[in-house]
Structure 1
Amino acid sequence: MSQFNDLITPVDCIVTEDTRLSEAISLMNSKKWNLLPVTNTNRELVGVFTRSGIFQMIMDRKPLTTPIKSYMKEHVETLPIDTPYENIEMIVKNSPVGTGVVIDEHHHVVGILTKTDMVMSLLQTSQELKTVKILKRTLETALDHAYDGIVMIDEKKNIQMVSPPLLELFNLQPESVLSKPVMKVLPDLHLDNVYQSATAEISGFLEINGIKYIVHRIPILEDGKVIGAIGKIVFRQLNEVSELFKKLQKAENKASFYHQQFQKSASARFTWEHLFTVDPYMEKLKKSAAKAAKGRSTILIRGESGTGKELFAQAIHNSSARSTGKFIVVNCAAIPEDLLESEFFGYDEGAFTGARQKGKLGKFDLANGGTLFLDEIGDMSLSLQAKLLRVLQEREFYRVGGTVRIQVDVRIVAATNRNLEEMVKEGLFREDLYYRLNVISLNVPPLRERLYDTDHLISQFMIELNQILGTSITGIEDRAREVILDYAWPGNVRELRNVMERAMTFAENGKIRFEDLPEYMVKQVSMRDLSPRVSLVENAELEAIKKALVQVKGNKVKAARLLGISRSGLYEKIKKYKLPT
């Protein structure tokens, strides 16, 4: 806002009653004034000489050397220098004269004030007021929508503006806050601190009604002097922020260690395309598993060792919403009992003698946001079963030697080759954990029950292993194929792949021969009833039925048509040779 001193035009010349007409005309012309204040020897105002006085002297044909004394006006409109701005505005608006003389307390002339000066001042003031109003409205809008609490105080430490979140935090009303001393209304903020230090500062943690908050005190400076202050009160989600700071400090010391742990964690490599099968049951099982993968439920995969349970688990992970997360494997049968708990849940530093200095992340930590595959779940001890059940129910756990609850978001896929129902009856497996795991159950059949898959897998493994081994195996001789198809495969698909890898490594003529098969398979063939006592016709018939079923992927109607027999006749022969139905 403009001040009175800024409006007046200073008088820097001396005009007395003895000043000559020529001098007066020269001053008015150079100063562009409408009047000249006339003073005595003490610079006290005695009158004014105006343009009308000049005109009158010219009309009276007075010489230019004539003193102005007889033509000056003694009754003058004066304004004290300490007149309030609001009063001056009214005086100028209502005064009949265009210029007033400004005097000090000693009646000395200090300047003149014209209506033109006042109009220009009013225009400037109006613009300033408009700018101030816009700025004020901007500040009010910012305060109304501020996420944190904000309070603004003036030079006298009275509150001028306050944001709704602050009023809400301290349960105050605007009328009880505005224009009130901040130390009386909000003493705990200690905003007066910055009036002495003239430096911004941040408080420690404060608390009101169970809500923690911190205060950022900011001084408002003008020419090095504090003319106000702003208090920013941060309280929303401050508990979470505090915990993050603590975790960040710990994480900085262990970042390298944790990074190494995560780098060591496994990822799922296999998808449904890697599950080679032409067996109708297996195809149906894959579709069921793919549907189950889309949900969040725990999945239990059952089947003999080597049937591909982990391959199913990886395919489930890769087709789920957690495919971007980790796929962590725990073989419950391979880890010593006394180490299994720390493998699952990790441990804090100093948890036990011999523990790593920085502790260790557990499998649940590593699988957070992803999938944890628990292989051979039936070999887990009862005590660890109880802890696993708690994690499944509460989705949280304690590290070994730790006191902080760790929350996790992990999907469990378990697998076993044991009869869990019998184990529950015998008290070897917790019934509540069994029902928690057995939400969705997938039973992977052994290879001996998937007659059509054996021949199909031979071809698929041949393609895959040629790339891995750098071999060029193009086929398999009939006698070797006959042995492979007739073998029971107790080790299932895993054993078949191993046999194929060995045979392809030893094969010399581009085809796998009988001699390239493992010795235990060759011996088993020699002990079988494939001696002269066995009918060659029956053996040929059996092989023809097997090949037909493989060729039509188990379709009995098509197989019977291919063999030239009735469907009922085919079923009788399947029963005779004890082939899977």
Structure 2
Amino acid sequence: MITLKEMITPIPYQIKEDTTLKEALNIMKEEKYGLLPVVNEARKLVGVFTRSRLFQMVKLEKSLTTPIKDFVKRDVNSLKEDTPFKELQEIVRNSSVGTGVVVDAENRVVGLFTKADMVMGLLNVTRTLNLKQSLQTAMDHAYDGILLADETQTIQMVSPSLLELFNMDYQDVLHKKTNQVFPHFQISKIYESEEADISDFHEINGIKYIIHRIPVKQEGRVVGAIVKIMYRQLNEVNELFKRLQKAENKASFYHTELKKSENAKFTWDHIISEHTVMEKIKKSAAKAAKGRSTILIRGESGTGKELFAHAAHNSSARKDGKFVVVNCAAIPEDLLESEFFGYEDGAFTGARSRGKIGKFDLANGGSLFLDEIGDMSLNLQAKLLRVLQEREFYRVGGTKRIQVDVRIIAATNRNLEEMVKEGTFREDLYYRLNVISLFIPPLRERMMDIQVLSEKIMSELNRVIGTSITGFEPRAKQILMSYHWPGNVRELRNVMERAMTFAEHGKIKVEDLPDYMLGSNHVLVDETAVTQEESMVESAERVAIETALTKTKGNKAKAAKMLGISRSSLYDKLRKYQLNEK
């Protein structure tokens, strides 16, 4: 609410008892005051000199050099500067005096207060309230994020869309300094420069945004700031830049893409998991990668076997060599041999006139990743075995031996042991490949990874498909956490992409998920069931943590290992269940 101090009329002159009639007359004429406060040497109020007292001196034909001392009105009611607004309204309503003197706690004069000041103050209050209500309504429905700060760089208003983008609540932001809450906004810059500006692209959870900083000026000085966060549909701008870049650098672009296809793109950091088994597998794979032995990666489709292959190459002594991928299930059987070993000029009808080098040639000095090796024909298995044993081969239609130095990394989702028994996979090749074997567990056996994987995928997809999704609504998250994921991480990514594409708001809802997930037996029926299920899960989780701490005698590192979670995750759960004293 507006204060009396904000409504008073400041006075540049304070007269004393020895002030002359001429001086008082000139001040009243120049400033248009109806009265002048009279103060002593300590600037404290002793009375007022009014226009009627001035007329009285003139009528008595007092000279212009006469001091006003004998004509000062002493019985004066002053107003304290901290007078409440409602009390002030009552005083003005019942007072016959048009002007009052405002003093501070020590009776020193700070200004004059008129009924006109009161009327203007009321108007300003009404305007301020209406303006604030209008602003709040506009901000509640703003498409972009908006923040308003006052002269002291304190946040006074913020839009829901901005809070949603940064996953914050009103209490985290309101009435706090801008640089404390949003230091990267650099709002203080415009208080100094007094000029509006726009930032470069920033990113949060894969969502790109731009900061538009605008100073609010009054009488030539900055009294506040408006910050606009533009983040919706920026993907269209990005696409424009991408098309322009492709048009200008087409040759360079395709050359770069070709080089990328022969390079490993992932490292161990790209394999996200909080499960102890996965961490052990990563450590074993990293050790194996440093040697020369063949690595066989096994696991269901979609578990991330190719990521392990990329990471193994990137952490090996061959990381500067090429990483060539062959999907044995995707290439027709009659073309597999020429793809592997290449062919000579005129080797068969339709062959290139100058022949073609094969994948083994390309991977020489590097790694060859044979994905879905369980789908390779017996005939090609025999030729592959010979290359692995002798490190040489013949091109199709050729007679010259080609020497190669290639490290084989293979992957399959098939049961090779059963295939060996059935005679569909060579036993000698199986033992040649199965020197170092890694089994990647399915997602349903490491459900705790769904949370961290979904967050990582959401961040990546926001960047790739241009969405602005910040999370899941509770029921949608419950479905995600209870689904059995037969397609593993690949299916999780596909579901996330579909849901983020259909989501119309900042969070994924149940209706954004595929119908086949909603029909699952794992889906909860209503909000009550969700709450009950969450309570049961939390209760079970708490008991498990307490048991682990008891068995490890309070050793948190060992407890985290026993629970199959990281130490940081354990500390988060200890805080959640208030078990820090354990």
TM-score under structure 2 length normalisation: 0.49
TM-score under structure 1 length normalisation: 0.49
Q: Which of the pair has more CA radius of gyration?
A: 1
Q: Which has the higher contact order (CA 8 A, sep 6+)?
A: 2
